[in-house]
A and B are shown apart, each in its own frame.
Chain A
Amino acid sequence: MATVMAATAAERAVLEEEFRWLLHDEVHAVLRQLQDILKEASLRFTLPSSGTEGPAKQENFILGSCGTDQVKGVLTLQGDALSQADVNLKMPRNNQLLHFAFREDKQWKLQQIQDARNHVSQAIYLLTSRDESYQFKTGAEVLKLMDAVMLQLTRARNRLTTPATLTLPEIAASGLTRMFAPALPSDLLVNVYINLNKLCLTVYQLHALQPNSTKNFRPAGGAVLHSPGAMFEWGSQRLEVSHVHKVECVVPWLNDALVYFTVSLQLCQQLKDKVSVFSSYWSYRPF
């Protein structure tokens, strides 16, 4: 028993030394690394001009799907907003070609990108609040900081990976449908969102349900992508989705940003795991 105790005493001294190193050196090294990664990530989001560098640059994305070519879209992304959009739709029945574009004066803000960017800048703000000169005294302090940073990073990533689930009336009511010139025909709905690293455009073709229809009317709930047959009520009309077209395009910088988020989240978690290993030692009392 005595040898066991002695061994633990020596072991403890080493552990304490190791923990001190962790708090004084390793934590700051990780924080610096995190800051570098997140700064790199936030650069990808091309922060809108805070006065000096002029308007953010425009990027064009050609959206398509591998299967059919019924819908083609060219979307122009300027920072976190869509500044231009051209949508070509080939009607399946009569092969008639429809073309819509954004009105000149209009922009459509992609809230997902803005939210992600704001969450990242909050994470950076949290990280910069402890500079090199700051001495961490307890593991709990590091864990708290990591929790706060990880919360922001998880939110940032989730905003991009999980687009909002909208109901069809919500899509119909959204401002996006009113952005187009010529105005969208009443039997079309469009929705634009970010899913992971892709910019997605969905076009829903609708047809009205006859009031005396034998079909069982069941309004569809919220979904990212509604499937044909989904029904909803809009105004006094009952409508059903007849066709769904989804086209998408990879946005390279979103891909980079997601990779950075994942890497920094893992760094945070590893640091947390390291610290918590020690804290479980500290709570140990030999009995």
Chain B
Amino acid sequence: MAGNSLVLPIVLWGRKAPTHCISAVLLTDDGATVVTGCHDGQICLWDLSVEMEINPRALLFGHTASITCLSKACASSDKQYIVSASESGEMCLWDVSDGRCIEFTKLACTHTGIQFYQFSVGNQREGRLLCHGHYPEILVVDATSLEVLYSLVSKISPDWISSMSIIRSHRTQEDTVVALSVTGILKVWIVTSEISDTQDTEPIFEEESKPIYCQNCQSISFCAFTQRSLLVVCSKYWRLLICPPVTRFFYGCREYFHKLLIQGDSSGRLNIWNISDIADKQERLAMTTSVSLQEAFDKLNPCPAGIIDQLSVIPSSNEPLKVTASVYIPAHGRLVCGREDGSIVIVPATQTAIVQLLQGEHMLRRGWPPHRTLRGHRNKVTCLLYPHQVSARYDQRYLISGGVDFSVIIWDIFSGEMKHIFCVHGGEITQLLVPPENCSARVQHCICSVASDHSVGLLSLREKKCIMLASRHLFPIQVIKWRPSDDYLVVGCSDGSVYVWQMDTGALDRCVMGITAVEILNACDEAVPAAVDSLSHPAVNLKQAMTRRSLAALKNMAHHKLQTLATNLLASEASDKGNLPKYSHNSLMVQAIKTNLTDPDIHVLFFDVEALIIQLLTEEASRPNTALISPENLQKASGSSDKGGSFLTGKRAAVLFQQVKETIKENIKEHLLDDEEEDEEIMRQRREESDPEYRSSKSKPLTLLEYNLTMDTAKLFMSCLHAWGLNEVLDEVCLDRLGMLKPHCTVSFGLLSRGGHMSLMLPGYNQPACKLSRGKMEVGRKVPVTEGVGKGTYGVSRAVTTQHLLSIISLANTLMSMTNATFIGDHMKKGPTRPPRPSTPDLSKARGSPPASSNIVQGQIKQGWSQLAAMHCVMLPDLLGLDKFRPPLLEMLARRWQDRCLEVMLR
């Protein structure tokens, strides 16, 4: 994470484990981690205990296509790196300990096999990855930078390599690469140390090439002892499940010598056989361990929480209704969830996340938090869109939903009314999109719907009719692009064909394939870089997701070049700031992700620590202003002032403002800009108020519950970050004085790394093969709390510790500097009246009046925050034990040194 923003994800997995159809398996050298890659492009890390118990730990996101191979990428024993390659030519280097992406690259060709090998370069041994795949060479890649150094080339009948093996001859001190091509020709290359020294691109030609007449070779291996015989494994038949399971044999030493046969299959199940040395030929070998991702989810107690599980209970079933589509509206802090029964729920995001993650009085209330349910679809809701968020030209009341019942519905989110139903498609709606800005006036008020019958519709929200339906595409639609200047809608299909439609007339202008098709698509990119929407793959592109503010961006990244992702999260955010709608409430982003199209949504809450601090300070600074306005508050305000009553209130406000300005520097400007924009919106609202329809809708405001979004976000975040159970006195202080809440169970955090790669911890990652029986409810509730959050996040890895410590300490310091910053009182009870959009700082009046605005309480709260910060700053290593604690990374801290965040932290 080279960027200067500190974004921490928290995942709500839901009860259904993500689909994990395993395509590659690897056991790390230390024998402690099994790594599996799946057909949807995710990588799962499983902890393997000495007793052969497996527990899934984390899921790594970043690849956009099926994982083709995994290999270790590091020789040293203190760090475990693996490299993964995908069908689309991406290669990633991951740190196994925390799932950080260290390096990534993309080549045009697909690798099907990678082997790690150390070549001698001078006196040093350099790690190299030897890759083969859908190309006739063997590429030698640097194991740290993933750069192609040179290639091994065939002179005689070059062909794709199906398998290879490397051996070092003790006699000649040469490294020999033996490979078998798909047509069954055995080839031998000799890589001498001189060659591997010169890092030029001159290829090495083979020494020998000989046909051995065997096709579809699976693997070849040398006899390491005699170096004379070569074992070639070919397959005639696979035992087939949905897709062939991957089986690999590993041996290694871990306390005792073991030989393991590991199989991963299409249902996300890992089977491990422990093969003892004296293999009994008659006896059928019993499976040692077997676990699937779903089993690991099922045995957890409490069950892994889904974002609106408490609102989705079906009386007849144990399982809650699945959330099938979601969209987050940051301006209102609302999460809109479409469910499998066709209903849509609008719920305050922080409140529902607090219910799922934290213990508190809300547990006693049924149907908490207050929400609104929209009913209209007859079956599963497949996609949701809030067009106003993408472009201000749309009415902010409109929410669009599409379902498997072929219909697209316009809703008024303020009144909950169904405005219109479009039934134009002949298949379930798969995607809803917004046309770019510079389209014709008519198209500008349309949304674009894509359906599984391979049709695309332009649905006018204003005219309430479909103005164009482009159908009869032969293949599923993969990408929609726009040429607004020519009034063209460009449809890219999965077979590579491109259809160009005229939006005004609905005429098919052209249908092309091949280079022309590629050129047309590329030309659209140049014209409108922001209007790209590819929808084939459900994998996550975080960068896009973040920049587009939680649109259905995650489905949209499959065919984008990885280079465009290379710019890190924040750099892109900064550059996009100009052309994207701004939201003051960007400290929390809720993004729904699907690993597979058929899965229910998993919700990831992204907390931007810096934005949260800015928001807290801005709200704090704006508070004395209101005190000035209302004279009766004046007394109180000066009383509660920590600077003593000697200051004039106005002067104090100015001082505070000055502080905030210094702290947030240019950001205050942005906020002021935001204010201006919002003023415009208010103006527009006023105009709209003359509209009777609007007035009637206003009688039922969207705000179902008045609350302070910023404080709620901070409360949720701090409660999840705090290392509970290490210091009982402090825990009491946190609960009683600061208003924090204990988590139900281990919170699944995530880690963002370079180029939009992300690692998300799976529920129960820290429970080695959890043995909690269902009867022990009480124990189940308590044990994970003490073990979970404490050891869990500060003992995972150094990078995680760094980020979490930075976040909690900087936030604690911010809260300490605020007046009466306690979370008590905001919670559950109705707060002061606030406008529907709590984003505007000047409108966000004082929060609920403090319990007792006396200096004593004020001091106690401050003391509480300082204790909290002190514990994480100083006492953590002692409390956790040095063996468990992973100290923060100095270079990551140093990188944040100039950061505003740290200035706050140091004060």
A195: chain B residues at CB < 8 Å are: 514-515
Interface residue ranges of A73-126 to B (CB < 8 Å): 109, 111, 114-115, 118-119, 121, 125
Residue of B nearest to A142 (CB): B242
B341: chain A residues at CB < 8 Å are: 285, 287
Docked CA distance A196–B496 (Å): 13
A158 and B242 within 8 A (CB)? no
B495 and A265 within 8 A (CB)? yes
A144 and B404 within 8 A (CB)? no
Q: A48-B183, A276-B452, A280-B404 are contacts. A134–B513 as well, Cβ < 8 Å?
A: no
A266: chain B residues at CB < 8 Å are: 474
B496 and A283 within 8 A (CB)? no
Q: Is the interface of A mostly helix, strand, loop or mixed?
A: helix
Q: A161-B496, A284-B379 are contacts. A130–B514 as well, Cβ < 8 Å?
A: no
A181: chain B residues at CB < 8 Å are: none
A148 and B243 within 8 A (CB)? yes
Docked CA distance A114–B452 (Å): 34
B882 sits at the interface (CB 8 A): no
In the complex, which of the residues B87, B211, B242, B515 contacts A161, with contact meaning CB atoms closer than 8 Å?
Answer: B515
B159 and A140 within 8 A (CB)? no
Give chain B's interface residue range (CB within 8 Å of chain A): 35 or more
Docked CA distance A150–B494 (Å): 10
B222 sits at the interface (CB 8 A): no
Interface residue ranges of B170-227 to A (CB < 8 Å): 182-184, 211, 213, 216
B87 and A157 within 8 A (CB)? no
B243 and A125 within 8 A (CB)? no
A69 sits at the interface (CB 8 A): no
B496 and A280 within 8 A (CB)? no
User: Within the complex, what minimum Cβ distance (angstroms) separates A234 from chain B?
Assistant: 16
A269 sits at the interface (CB 8 A): yes
Docked CA distance A272–B383 (Å): 22
A162: chain B residues at CB < 8 Å are: 496, 514-515, 518
Q: A111-B136, A138-B242, A287-B342 are contacts. A224–B182 as well, Cβ < 8 Å?
A: no
B240 sits at the interface (CB 8 A): yes
A40 sits at the interface (CB 8 A): no
Docked CA distance A276–B288 (Å): 38
Q: Is the interface of B mostly helix, strand, loop or mixed?
A: loop
In the complex, which of the residues B240, B340, B428 contacts A280, with contact meaning CB atoms closer than 8 Å?
Answer: B428
Contact with B along A23-47 (1 / 0, CB 8 A): 0000000000000000000000000
A214 sits at the interface (CB 8 A): no
A283 and B404 within 8 A (CB)? yes
A50 and B184 within 8 A (CB)? yes
Residue of B nearest to A145 (CB): B243
A129 sits at the interface (CB 8 A): yes
A208 sits at the interface (CB 8 A): no
A183: chain B residues at CB < 8 Å are: none
A154 and B159 within 8 A (CB)? no
B127 sits at the interface (CB 8 A): no
Q: A140-B242, A161-B515 are contacts. A115–B134 as well, Cβ < 8 Å?
A: yes
A163 sits at the interface (CB 8 A): yes
A50 and B515 within 8 A (CB)? no
User: Within the complex, what minimum Cβ distance (angstroms) separates B59 from chain A?
Assistant: 20
User: Within the complex, what minimum Cβ distance (angstroms) separates A49 from chain B?
Assistant: 10
B342: chain A residues at CB < 8 Å are: 287
B244: chain A residues at CB < 8 Å are: 129
Q: A269-B475, A276-B452, A280-B404 are contacts. A125–B216 as well, Cβ < 8 Å?
A: yes
A118 and B515 within 8 A (CB)? no
B157 sits at the interface (CB 8 A): yes
B514 and A129 within 8 A (CB)? no
A155: chain B residues at CB < 8 Å are: 134
B159 and A118 within 8 A (CB)? yes
Contact with B along A4-34 (1 / 0, CB 8 A): 0000000000000000000000000000000
B160 sits at the interface (CB 8 A): yes
B257 sits at the interface (CB 8 A): no
Could you write out 19 A-B pairs with CB less than 8 Å apart? A48-B157, A48-B183, A51-B211, A109-B136, A109-B158, A114-B136, A114-B158, A114-B160, A115-B160, A121-B182, A129-B240, A148-B243, A154-B496, A195-B514, A269-B474, A283-B380, A284-B404, A285-B379, A287-B342
Closest 9 CB pairs of A and B: A161-B514, A141-B242, A287-B341, A144-B242, A144-B243, A118-B160, A162-B515, A269-B475, A265-B495
**Contact surface of B with A, Cβ cutoff 8 Å:** 21, 39, 87, 108, 134-136, 157-160, 182-184, 211, 213, 216, 237-238, 240-244, 266, 340-342, 379-380, 404, 428, 452, 474-476, 494-496, 513-515, 518
**Extra pairs beyond A157-B495, A269-B474 (13, CB < 8 Å):** A48-B157, A50-B184, A109-B136, A115-B135, A129-B238, A141-B242, A148-B243, A161-B514, A164-B108, A195-B514, A269-B495, A283-B340, A283-B379
